Amino acid sequence: MRKVRDYDAELKALGDKARALKVKRVEQLGQLVAATGADALDAETLAGVLLDAIGSKDADAKEAWRAKGAAFFQRRGRKGGGAAAIDGSGAATEPGGNAAGGSGGTSNR
């Protein structure tokens, strides 16, 4: 006899997992802002920098930001696992490094 599946319970479990992942991502982004020193900026300035980065069509600038972000995470990794504390995995660091990591490094100048 086949086991009856509880679709409602499965949907609830998937929803709970999705919410937990979203909360974890928000926490990681907050940690990234703090780790780059961008928490010293007021919210309006930080939002403006990020919006400019998102809206930028300049591929060279985006590549420069990506490189700065990658270098930031490599430096943090050598200082005792800082990048792992922010993201938890090396594969997930690049998307955060694209705009946020590069923008944070640029704003500190």
Neighbours of 21 (CB within 10 A): 10
For residues 89-97, average pLDDT: 43
The string of pLDDT tens digits covering residues 12-53 is 999 999 999 999 999 999 999 999 999 999 999 999 999 999
Per-domain residue ranges of the chain:
7-64
Higher-pLDDT residue of 40, 107: 40
**Do 86 and 93 contact (CB within 8 A), yes or no?**
yes
